[in-house]
Structure 1
Amino acid sequence: MPIKVLMPALSPTMTEGTLAKWLKKEGDTVASGDVIAEIETDKATMEVESADEGVLGKIVVPEGTEGVPVNELIGWLLEEGEDASAIEGAGDARPAPKQEAPKQETKAEAPKEQPKPAAAPAPAASGGGDKGDRIFASPLARRMAEQAGLDLASLSGSGPNGRIVKADIEAALSKGGTKAPASAPQAAAAPQAAAPVSLPQSQPDVPGLPSYTEVPNSSMRKVIAKRLTESKLTAPHFYLTIDCEIDKLLAVRKELNEKVGDSGYKLSVNDLVIRATALALKKVPAANATWTESAIRIYDQVDISVAVAIDEGLITPVIRDAGSKGLVEISAEMKDLAKRARERKLKPEEFQGGTFSISNLGMFGIKDFAAVINPPQGAILAVGAGEQRPVVKDGALAIATVMSCTLSVDHRVVDGAIGAEFLSVFKKLIEDPMTMLL
């Protein structure tokens, strides 16, 4: 029997994705474990391996299709000895879009004569083993049922994925199976012959506006918009800013990089910021927390999400247990995560589940800014550029390299005193970087 290839759930929160590319074409042999397609989620492009073997008999969802729901049929694998005819009548079209049109037409034609038959596809979902409005049955089983007048919707399939096969028809006939209503086929066909749907005409452009180019919103951009809007609407943000002198930090960074020479890595200021943040959170664990309706969760481990800009938006790969990692380990891991983030090759567990976030725009010359909290986390640290500024030391004017850092806090989770304590510890570590090496 042909095997259904379904849209996989690549993360616990994934509900739909984009079928970015088929790596196999119709007629290609597929072995178990072969990569057959690339699926684009809101955060990454991931390879999908086949769990079965056979021949890719039909591609149902073409590459480039957006908004494909999880568990939707995207293709068929043919087993040994099968040909394309085995797929006929097996419901190889995308069910979701076709389900909407019949509903609208049923409502529109309800006053006429077919309100009951229009609901006929509903039993098929359970009887035929398919989640859409189609009955999964082999072509032979369909012919046998049609000749015998059996209602396929009343049968349970014993084939793969609940598919109705010849043996199910024979068993139903021996027990005197339910006859198909005479009007059912006609009624089922009526909604499928989609009547023209009137769509609202485009409104003319506002007079005086210049010409423009529309860039369709990617899945990532839609998720960013949704999550950050929810963050600003539900989390009461407040902001704390502190200035850190980083001349010593820059000197230590330079010295360490000179000592390692050509070993293959170079410490960045961001690596030192990650290390200082992790140590500060270990000393002030109340800032390493999230809000729930029943309790505030204070995490035992510091998992730091670090914002990385990519073409489609923003992604936050996570440095796991950053509080127990040294600078070299943090630096190497961050470079690897950032590289794969830009290639959209991160695994879901590599960008989900952080406990605290860092967003650094210092490399772009941004002096200071306030970041939006990454839900459900309780805080995010925004790091600005280090720049020379006049400071007062021992009553005299001097010049120092100063970096402004702003902590955005969810006031439900972290109070002002806790946020201030965290920043105080962070500042001490940044301004005395040797303490980070202990």
Structure 2
Amino acid sequence: MAINVVMPKLGMAMKEGTVSVWNKKVGDPVQKGELIASINSEKIEMEIESPGEGILLEIAVEEGKGVPPGTPIAYIGQPDEKVVSGAQEEAAASIVAEPEVPAPASPQVKENPSHVTISGEKVKISPVARKMAAEANLDIQTLAGTGPGGRITKEDVQKALENVSQQSRPEPPARKENETNTKADQASRPLTGMRKVIAERMHSSLQNSAQLTIYMKADITELKTLQAQSAASVKRRFGEKLTLTDFIARATILALQVHPFMNSALIDYSIHERNNVHLGMAVALEKGLVVPVINDAEKLSLSQLSASIRELAKKARENQLGSEEMTGSTFTITNLGAYGVEHFTPILNPPEAGILGVGAAEDQPVYRGDNLERRSILPISLTFDHQLVDGAPAALFLKEIKGYLEEPFSMLV
């Protein structure tokens, strides 16, 4: 009996999964545990292993199509094995349920028939396909059935509708002789999976909040000195060096405890104040962006915070994050400094009150008193929801982060 490959459930909240790419085609041999496809749901993407050994008999869900968890997406079995898929089961059930009857001489149509008799000729068609054809005013006599015994299935109707749609499109105007085509060839693909979720969330964020961004510059010269001086000792004790991102995260957590209004959320016109800091750290992936969450970040030491950031970023890049590790954040940090970006305007991660943007640090000449010195300057920005927070308190919060970064020892006591 053929083995079903089903769409897995990636987290409790998953409602639909999408097949990103098939690594095998129908007829290819597969080994148990071999990677045969990639699937995604919301912000999670993973590869599917073959549950058994044999031949890929049928691909039930094409690339780019979304289906609920538990839905068969492919079948694996022996070369001569037959697969009874959803469409075939429907047709077979129709055959059993409604035996053929002699055709009368005059046109007759029964209610919900699986066999429609027109002009003395019997047309085999499933109830679903008949309904689809009737709604589209499609002449079923013109359809070719691919089901058992030539029965017309819903897939046959869908294909016919697609052909009609293509034929009804107007022909593009003929190009004049010697006319140059200035437009490049274009390709389109559906917005699915992670990209679709990001698009929906960003659009919703801008529609449902009053976003304002303010900017400051932090002098992190002393911070970089501290980072360099402690590197060998920290690596010897904890196995890894502290990064600039670690210090920025620590400064943000401390500032949120001083200014808790930035750790709140606006939900259904009610302000929800959070006692704990669940820090979201945006991680860029090849196909999108994910925001792993460090829960109860205020309880972690700097070294523990650093380890958590590294671990979650690694899991994100390896598509190993669970849905529970990407929900519940109360404030987010996004860092584009590694890409050379100086200033940018982040978009809120709803329903959070704020998001910190971090740019690229640069050495600049800075007057300190009467002396011109070479200093390392870090641009930072704060996007906040003006429905929750006004400009002045938001500026005080960003200034608090700046203060910790410019006096790094205050983060260690």
TM-score by length of 2: 0.71
The alpha carbon displacement at 1:409 in A equals: 0.6
Other structure's SS at 2:360 match: strand
Q: Aligned pair 1:225/2:199, yes or no?
A: yes
The residue correspondences of 1:26-175 to structure 2 (distance < 5 A) are: 38-47=38-47, 59-61=58-60, 65-71=63-69, 72-75=71-74, 84=81, 87-88=83-84, 91-92=86-87, 135=90, 145-146=97-98
CA distance in 2, matches of 1:359, 1:182: 57
The alpha carbon displacement at 1:404 in A equals: 1.7
- CA shift in 2, pair 1:76/1:283, >3 Å: same
CA distance in 2, matches of 1:239, 1:289: 17
Conserved? CA contact 2:100–2:115, under 8 Å: no
- CA shift digits 1:129-149 (9 cap, x unpaired): xxxxx759xx6x776544599
Other structure's SS at 1:408 match: strand
The alpha carbon displacement at 1:382 in A equals: 0.8
CA distance in 1, matches of 2:335, 2:373: 26
What percent identity do the matched residue pairs reach? 31
- CA shift in 2, pair 1:22/1:209, >3 Å: closer
Q: Aligned pair 1:247/2:221, yes or no?
A: yes
Q: Give the alignment partner of residue 185 of structure 1, picking from 112, 115, 120.
A: 115
Corresponding residue of 2:231: 257
- CA shift digits 1:241-295 (9 cap, x unpaired): 1221111111111122121345531211011101111121122221012221241
The alpha carbon displacement at 1:312 in A equals: 2.0
The alpha carbon displacement at 1:6 in A equals: 4.4
Letter in 1 for 2:18: G
- CA shift digits 1:44-93 (9 cap, x unpaired): 3225689x99999954425x611322244424589xxxx955x53x5257
CA distance in 2, matches of 1:144, 1:318: 54
Corresponding residue of 1:15: 16
TM-score by length of 1: 0.67
The alpha carbon displacement at 1:388 in A equals: 2.5
- CA shift digits 1:200-225 (9 cap, x unpaired): 35857997635356474563333323
Larger CA deviation: 353-362 vs 4-13: 4-13
The alpha carbon displacement at 1:237 in A equals: 1.0
The alpha carbon displacement at 1:182 in A equals: 8.1
Conserved? CA contact 2:26–2:59, under 8 Å: no
Q: Give the alignment partner of residue 302 of structure 1, picking from 256, 277, 294.
A: 277
Q: Aligned pair 1:197/2:197, yes or no?
A: no
Corresponding residue of 2:379: 404
Q: Give the alignment partner of residue 293 of structure 1, picking from 268, 274, 290.
A: 268
Letter in 2 for 1:43: K
Q: Aligned pair 1:211/2:211, yes or no?
A: no
CA distance in 2, matches of 1:244, 1:330: 21
Other structure's SS at 1:197 match: helix
Conserved? CA contact 1:16–1:69, under 8 Å: yes
Corresponding residue of 1:316: 291
Letter in 1 for 2:290: I
- CA shift in 2, pair 1:55/1:382, >3 Å: same
Conserved? CA contact 2:22–2:63, under 8 Å: no
Conserved? CA contact 2:348–2:355, under 8 Å: yes
Q: Give the alignment partner of residue 373 of structure 1, picking from 348, 362, 382.
A: 348
Q: Give the alignment partner of residue 360 of structure 2, picking from 385, 407, 421.
A: 385
The alpha carbon displacement at 1:355 in A equals: 1.6
- CA shift digits 1:306-351 (9 cap, x unpaired): 2222222322222222222222222223223323323333322223
Corresponding residue of 1:337: 312
CA distance in 2, matches of 1:364, 1:148: 69
Letter in 2 for 1:69: V
Other structure's SS at 1:243 match: strand
- CA shift in 2, pair 1:25/1:321, >3 Å: farther
Conserved? CA contact 2:234–2:242, under 8 Å: no
Q: Aligned pair 1:281/2:251, yes or no?
A: no
CA distance in 2, matches of 1:412, 1:346: 32
The alpha carbon displacement at 1:30 in A equals: 7.4
CA distance in 1, matches of 2:22, 2:301: 39
Q: Which runs of 5+ in 1 are unaligned?
A: 94-133, 150-179
- CA shift digits 1:138-180 (9 cap, x unpaired): x6x776544599xxxxxxxxxxxxxxxxxxxxxxxxxxxxxx9
CA distance in 2, matches of 1:218, 1:209: 30
Other structure's SS at 1:402 match: strand
- CA shift digits 1:24-50 (9 cap, x unpaired): 99897979xx99864223423225689
Corresponding residue of 2:242: 267
CA distance in 2, matches of 1:283, 1:55: 61
Conserved? CA contact 1:362–1:383, under 8 Å: yes
Letter in 1 for 2:317: R
Q: Give the alignment partner of residue 326 of structure 2, picking from 346, 351, 357.
A: 351
Letter in 1 for 2:216: I
Letter in 1 for 2:39: I
Other structure's SS at 2:343 match: coil
Corresponding residue of 2:388: 413
CA distance in 2, matches of 1:23, 1:279: 51
Conserved? CA contact 1:6–1:70, under 8 Å: no
